[in-house]
Amino acid sequence: MCLKYIGGVPPKNALVGSTLKLKCLKENMLTLLASPTPQQLVAHYKAYILGLIGGVLMPDKSGNKVHLMYLPLLANLVRTGRYS
């Protein structure tokens, strides 16, 4: 599911049930190369937005995980046309 929506697979210890640890998201999926491809940019944007959802907009009780149910909401991010 993570590979499909944000272009990367987190380590197994980062997944707790249906949630992803925000620390892992920051450390592994929010790194960006100096000259990224368009696909890498889209994956970076999606991971960043997922981090905002889990950390600021709709945090869980622990405050350090984001539920994976929000991933499908990022599927059509390319259709916004805000970046190319």
- 60-82: per-residue pLDDT in tens? 788 889 998 888 888 877 666 55
| CA Rg value for the chain | 12
**What pLDDT is recorded for position 11?**
84
Q: How far apart are the C-alpha atoms of 79 and 28, rounded to whole Å?
A: 25
Neighbours of 18 (CB within 10 A): 10
Greater confidence (59 vs 77) lies with 59
**What pLDDT is recorded for position 83?**
53
- Domain extent listing, the chain: 2-78
The C-alpha angle with vertex 21 and arms to 15 and 25, in degrees rounded to 5, equals 105
**What pLDDT is recorded for position 36?**
86
**What pLDDT is recorded for position 51?**
87
Say yes or no to pLDDT of 57 above 60: yes
Task: Give the phi and the psi of residue 30 in degrees, each rounded to 5.
Answer: -105, 10
